[in-house]
């Protein structure tokens, strides 16, 4: 015999950043479900365990989307300052690390606890270890078959919110459920790909440099980022690389400037004038990591004393260091990508409340939507803003 369905106002699929925020604003009659053991797992591990929860300079220019204007409305109505006020209300201490990036002084777990407390205070409910078996449209609402701790539960709800995020880090429970359900309801989904992800090189050419980091400017024809670059066993990582990966496509080269704010030519010339008896390599290692100098010495045929180098030779060397053309063979993929680029097409959604234009009562928020932020707290800010927009409308 079929049990009567549980009647709800709103069911939110996914207790991540966006789903928790949405529930806190949707209030009584709302249930959030998640197949993970605990809510907000990505929040918990984010920012090295301290959660880079927003960015002081967050604005529409920090996001990629087929429609760059889409995020404006929700972000204006729930800004970084609103989230900071919430963090302050919960007496969570925080600090700016760099470039407007705000982190907890203590632990990212405080942000998860804060969101769960807000959700409970608003009268919403949270079920973890609950899988989504099937979703169908029934009249003006939705029928959803769930399995909670192995027990089947059927829910009927007026509003259904897709908040299951993107495909990055499947090991942490990421699935394509939001995209599958979007397809089921005929909502278009733009191409998705891993973003904020390290570059790989099939010949492992930087193996000897693994662990070397330095300030750099990484560019391609579309974008340029001035942040740290890190050589890894398999390729390149660090903030400048992760940022540019969102603007990179297979087969393209990137240009690395390893002396972005240094007048290396002037420094070497001055040193040469003072005598320049030391090896060029030794002089270079005063300005660049020694292992990097070891790597480029045979690669670029550097030899001799500084005194032996002509202006032209020094200039050519500095030009190479400021525009090192590299063609990654790929990226580390969803295994380590911080986010998924692309997602549910914003054309299908209202920018005011994230509701599907063609399916009243169906909402999509957070990373599942085709709005992808830069590294630095921007993705959480989008999760908070879009979750708030849907929650308020519900
Ligand atoms: P999110 O992924 O948070 O939540 C989705 C939820 O849905 C999860 O709880 C998942 O278990 C659940 N789910 C998925 N499929 C399901 C299914 N089939 N059934 C039931 N439940 C399902 N951003 C930032 O701004 N600052 C930072 O410091 C970081 N740091 C960072 C570190 C790492 C390692 C990663 C991977 C990512 C970040 N990010 C980040 C990105 C940020 O974590 C991400 O953009 C947001 O968590 C997106 O929020 P959502 O709520 O949309 O998805």
Question: How far is the centre of ligand 1, averaged over its atoms, from the C-alpha of 373 (Å)?
Answer: 13
Residue to substitute in 145, 178, 379 for testing ligand 1 pocket (most ligand atoms within 8 angstroms of CB)? 379
Q: Distance of alpha carbon 7 from its chain centroid, rounded?
A: 35
**What is the SS3 assignment for 291?**
helix
Tokens describing residue 326: 């590299």
- Show the CA angle centred on residue 323, arms to residues 254 and 213, nearest 5°: 75
- Phi and psi of 246, rounded to 5°? -70, -20
Residue to substitute in 16, 48, 62, 178 for testing ligand 1 pocket (most ligand atoms within 8 angstroms of CB)? 16
Helix intervals (H) in the chain: 17-26, 41-45, 72-77, 80-89, 109-121, 177-184, 239-245, 264-273, 280-284, 290-299, 311-322, 378-393
375 pocket-lining for ligand 1 (C-beta < 6 Å): no
Question: How far is the centre of ligand 1, averaged over its atoms, from the C-alpha of 387 (Å)?
Answer: 13
372 pocket-lining for ligand 1 (C-beta < 6 Å): no
| DSSP classification of residue 35 | S
Question: How far is the centre of ligand 1, averaged over its atoms, from the C-alpha of 86 (Å)?
Answer: 20
- Show the CA angle centred on residue 101, arms to residues 99 and 104, nearest 5°: 145
* pLDDT at res. 89: 98
**CA–CA separation, 24 and 160 (whole Å):** 15
**What is the SS3 assignment for 56?**
coil
Beta bridge partners of 126: 32
- What's the whole-model pTM score? 0.97
The region, left, alpha or beta by phi > 0 then psi within -120 to 50, assigned to residue 186 is left
Question: How far is the centre of ligand 1, averaged over its atoms, from the C-alpha of 6 (Å)?
Answer: 27
**CA–CA separation, 356 and 162 (whole Å):** 11
173 pocket-lining for ligand 1 (C-beta < 6 Å): yes
Tokens describing residue 276: 């320049």
Question: How far is the centre of ligand 1, averaged over its atoms, from the C-alpha of 168 (Å)?
Answer: 8
Residue whose tokens read 């940022």: 243
**What is the SS3 assignment for 63?**
strand
* pLDDT at res. 305: 96
* pLDDT at res. 4: 86
**CA–CA separation, 363 and 346 (whole Å):** 11
Residue to substitute in 11, 14, 128, 245 for testing ligand 1 pocket (most ligand atoms within 8 angstroms of CB)? 14
**What is the SS3 assignment for 157?**
strand
The ipTM value here is: 0.99
Question: How far is the centre of ligand 1, averaged over its atoms, from the C-alpha of 323 (Å)?
Answer: 35
168 pocket-lining for ligand 1 (C-beta < 6 Å): yes
Residue-wise pLDDT tens for the chain (394 aa)? 456 899 999 999 999 999 999 999 999 999 999 999 999 999 999 999 999 999 999 999 999 999 999 999 999 999 999 999 999 999 999 999 999 999 999 999 999 999 999 999 999 999 999 999 999 999 999 999 999 999 999 999 999 999 999 999 999 999 999 999 999 999 999 999 999 999 999 998 999 999 999 999 999 999 999 999 999 999 999 999 999 999 999 999 999 999 999 999 999 999 999 987 889 999 999 999 999 999 999 999 999 999 999 999 999 999 999 999 999 999 999 999 999 999 999 999 999 999 999 999 999 999 999 999 999 999 999 999 999 999 999 9
- Name the residue among 291, 283, 289, 317 with its Cα closest to residue 206: 291
**CA–CA separation, 386 and 250 (whole Å):** 31
Residue to substitute in 47, 338, 377 for testing ligand 1 pocket (most ligand atoms within 8 angstroms of CB)? 338
35 pocket-lining for ligand 1 (C-beta < 6 Å): yes
Tokens describing residue 10: 């709103």
* pLDDT at res. 1: 45
Angstrom CA distances, 72 to 60, 170, 389, stand at 6, 30, 11
- Name the residue among 9, 27, 28 with its Cα closest to residue 392: 27
The region, left, alpha or beta by phi > 0 then psi within -120 to 50, assigned to residue 208 is alpha
Q: Are 53 and 102 in contact (CB under 8 A)?
A: yes
* pLDDT at res. 2: 56
Question: How far is the centre of ligand 1, averaged over its atoms, from the C-alpha of 48 (Å)?
Answer: 14
12 pocket-lining for ligand 1 (C-beta < 6 Å): no
């Amino acid at each position: 015999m079929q049990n009567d369905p549980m009647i709800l106002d709103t069911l939110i699929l996914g207790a991540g950043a966006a789903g928790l925020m949405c529930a806190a604003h949707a209030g009584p009659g709302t249930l959030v479900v998640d197949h993970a053991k605990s809510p907000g797992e990505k929040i918990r591990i984010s920012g090295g365990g301290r959660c880079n929860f927003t960015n002081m300079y967050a604005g529409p220019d920090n996001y990629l989307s087929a429609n760059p204007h889409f995020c404006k409305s929700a972000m204006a109505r729930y800004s970084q300052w609103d989230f900071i006020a919430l963090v302050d209300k919960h007496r969570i201490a925080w600090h700016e690390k760099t470039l407007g990036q705000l982190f907890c002084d203590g632990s990212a777990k405080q942000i998860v606890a804060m969101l769960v407390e807000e959700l409970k205070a608003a009268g919403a409910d949270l079920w973890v270890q609950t899988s989504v078996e099937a979703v169908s449209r029934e009249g003006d609402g939705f029928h959803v078959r769930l399995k909670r701790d192995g027990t089947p539960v059927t829910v009927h709800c007026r509003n259904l919110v897709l908040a299951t995020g993107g495909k990055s880090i499947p090991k942490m429970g990421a699935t394509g459920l939001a995209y599958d359900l979007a397809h089921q309801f005929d909502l278009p989904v733009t191409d998705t790909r891993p973003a904020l992800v390290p570059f790989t090189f099939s010949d492992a050419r930087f193996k000897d440099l693994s662990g070397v980091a330095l300030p750099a400017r990484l560019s391609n024809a579309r974008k340029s980022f001035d942040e740290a670059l890190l050589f890894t066993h398999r390729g390149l990582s660090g903030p400048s690389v992760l940022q540019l990966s969102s603007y990179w496509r297979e087969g393209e080269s990137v240009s690395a400037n390893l002396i972005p704010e240094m007048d290396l030519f002037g420094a070497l010339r001055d040193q040469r004038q003072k005598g320049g008896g030391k090896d060029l390599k030794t002089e270079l290692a005063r300005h660049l990591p020694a292992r990097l100098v070891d790597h480029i010495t045979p690669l670029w045929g550097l030899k001799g004393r500084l005194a032996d180098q002509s202006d032209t030779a020094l200039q050519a060397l500095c030009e190479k260091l400021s525009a090192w053309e590299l063609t990654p063979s790929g990226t580390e993929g969803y295994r380590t990508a911080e986010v998924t680029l692309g997602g549910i097409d914003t054309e299908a959604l209202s920018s005011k409340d994230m509701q599907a234009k063609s399916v009243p009562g169906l909402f999509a928020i957070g990373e599942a939507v085709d709005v992808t932020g830069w590294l630095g707290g921007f993705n959480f800010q989008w999760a908070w803003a879009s979750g708030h927009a849907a929650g308020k409308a519900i």
